[in-house]
Amino acid sequence: MTTLAGARTTDDRNLIARLWDNQEARSVIIQIITLAVVLALAVLVLRNIAINLEAIGKEFNFNFLGAPAAYDISFSPFIEYTSRHTHLRAAVVGILNTLLVAVCGVLLASVMGFIMGIMRLSSNWLISRIVYVFIDFVRNIPVLLHILLVHGIIVTTLPPPRQAIDIGADFFVTNRGFFVPAPVFQDGAGVVGIVFIIAIIAAIVFRRWAKQVQDTTGKIYPVFSICTAIIVGAPLLAFVVMGAPLSWDIPQLKGFNFQGGLALKPEFLALWLALSYYTSCFIAEIVRAGILAVSHGQTEASYAVGLRPNRTLQLVIVPQALRVIIPPLTSQYLNITKNSSLAIAIGYMDVVATIGGISLMQTGKEMETMIIVMGVYLVISLTVSAFMNWFNRKMKLKER
């Protein structure tokens, strides 16, 4: 019996040793242990929070979202909002305002960053030096100061509404915002929108078909011209057939301010412009590094077959540089989204200012409101990362 027990103990030890010596098994064991420790710590933290909330007479719930918010939001371009609406609607307005700044900032920063990155490599010494000085100046000053600077310029240097600058087409510039005509869609506008979506899908299908034809036969179609004609022509034809289902709400001066139209508030403009040109300086350096990573022999080969410099950049250099540019570009897009939380410094009502600011102070629900704010930024960041990872995989070299 002693021998059997000793043999069993030895077998058990040998099994554990064999599992630990196996790299795959050891990796799984370590992951299981790590996950168990993390879950245990999370349980302890949540238990401690529950005990502390109970000690001060607070309950953990989200019932406050159904209560009236009782505060105004000056900028809500997507959905109607008044102080009689709930905290949940105020949170939705804040989330939409955050997304608006993030999307507009990504678009403008990308365009500015690519232009400045190419200008940094210009053979024109003056252009290259000007861009270099601008990039170094902007990058070495905190983004919050840029936001305050742009906001101060807009508010203090532009005229009041009564002396508004009319730059034509019913577009007015004041220190209370930029007022532009707002589109009013009528019956039939939905049909035009559907035709526009179908036109985009058709252009994508045609582009892929043209690429397949070029790969197999060498025949080149004017893809850009045809796709532009499809995307512009089809909706325009539908617009005419449906009787032009669109009118414009023109801003008009009434009293001390403009009424009607679409108002782009100084807070939005300052945050958008400051985040865009600040982030574009980092994108410019990423673009410059990506272009320099492409062998100069590619440029020489393009010139040898008769391609002009602009076509060489468009068809040869940039497509190869994108494989270097995209990974760090993802971080800059995430930075724009997260830096938008600085909007509270100038009174722009994003998700931090609404649910994470005024709603928090009115309800005293610190844990709940912060969970909502963190969850919003987490979802946005993960979505941006997922899209950029997909785009990066699509652009990487395909091995045969």
**Token duo for residue 59:** 């309950």
Q: What is the pLDDT of residue 175?
A: 86
166 or 14: which carries more pLDDT confidence?
Answer: 166
Strands of 262-264's sheet in order across: 165-166, 172-174, 177-180, 262-264
Q: Is the pLDDT of residue 10 over 60?
A: no
Query: Is the CB of residue 359 less than 8 Å from the CB of residue 369?
Result: yes
Confidence band for 9, pLDDT divided at 50, 70 and 90: low
Q: Within the chain, where are the H helices?
A: 2-21, 23-55, 87-120, 125-139, 143-157, 189-217, 223-241, 266-292, 296-304, 309-312, 318-339, 359-363, 366-395
Q: What is the pLDDT of residue 210?
A: 87
Q: Over the stretch 91-102, which tens digit does the pLDDT of each residue have? A: 999 999 999 999
Q: Is the pLDDT of residue 18 over 80?
A: no
φ, ψ dihedrals at 224, nearest 5°: -60, -45
Nearest to 280 by CA among 137, 135, 128, 95: 135
Q: Is the pLDDT of residue 1 over 70?
A: no
140 or 224: which carries more pLDDT confidence?
Answer: 140
Q: What is the pLDDT of residue 260?
A: 79
Q: Which residues contact 354 (CB under 8 A, 6 or more apart)?
A: 73, 90, 91, 93, 94
Q: Is the pLDDT of residue 46 over 90?
A: no
Q: Report the pLDDT averaged over residues 294-302.
A: 80
Q: Is the pLDDT of residue 281 over 90?
A: yes
131 CB-contact burial (10 Å; exposed 0-12 / middle 13-18 / buried 19+):
buried
Q: Report the pLDDT averaged over residues 140-168.
A: 89
Residues of the chain with pLDDT > 90, as a percent, come to 29
**CATH number 1.10.3720.10 is the correct assignment for the domain at 87-181+263-395:** yes
Nearest to 95 by CA among 396, 376, 398, 384: 376
Confidence band for 161, pLDDT divided at 50, 70 and 90: confident
Q: Kindly write down the DSSP assignment for every residue of 384-397, as one continuous string.
A: HHHHHHHHHHHHSP
Q: Is the pLDDT of residue 8 over 70?
A: no
pTM here is: 0.80
The DSSP 8-state label assigned to residue 160 in this structure reads: P
How would you classify the pairing of strands 172-174 and 257-259?
unpaired
Q: Report the pLDDT averaged over residues 306-321.
A: 79
Q: What is the pLDDT of residue 12?
A: 53
How many CA atoms lie less than 13 Å away from 8 in the CB half-sphere?
5
Confidence band for 366, pLDDT divided at 50, 70 and 90: confident
Q: What is the pLDDT of residue 399?
A: 54
Nearest to 339 by CA among 399, 243, 288, 272: 272
Q: Over the stretch 75-93, which tens digit does the pLDDT of each residue have? A: 888 888 888 899 999 999 9
Q: What is the pLDDT of residue 395?
A: 76
189-195: Cβ within 8 A, 24+ apart = 189/242, 189/245, 189/246, 191/238, 191/242, 192/235, 192/238, 192/239, 192/242, 192/245, 195/234, 195/235, 195/237, 195/238
For tokens 């830096």, name the residue: 339
Q: What is the pLDDT of residue 149?
A: 93
Confidence band for 142, pLDDT divided at 50, 70 and 90: very high
139 CB-contact burial (10 Å; exposed 0-12 / middle 13-18 / buried 19+):
middle
Q: Report the pLDDT averaged over residues 9-31.
A: 71
For tokens 């918010």, name the residue: 69
Q: What is the pLDDT of residue 283?
A: 94
Q: What is the pLDDT of residue 6?
A: 52
Residue 373 CA to residue 369 CA, distance in Å, equals 6
Query: Is the CB of residue 143 less than 8 Å from the CB of residue 338?
Result: no
The DSSP 8-state label assigned to residue 180 in this structure reads: E
The per-residue pLDDT of the chain, averaged, comes to: 85
Nearest to 147 by CA among 105, 92, 179, 201: 105
Q: Is the pLDDT of residue 300 over 60?
A: yes
Nearest to 377 by CA among 98, 100, 142, 101: 98
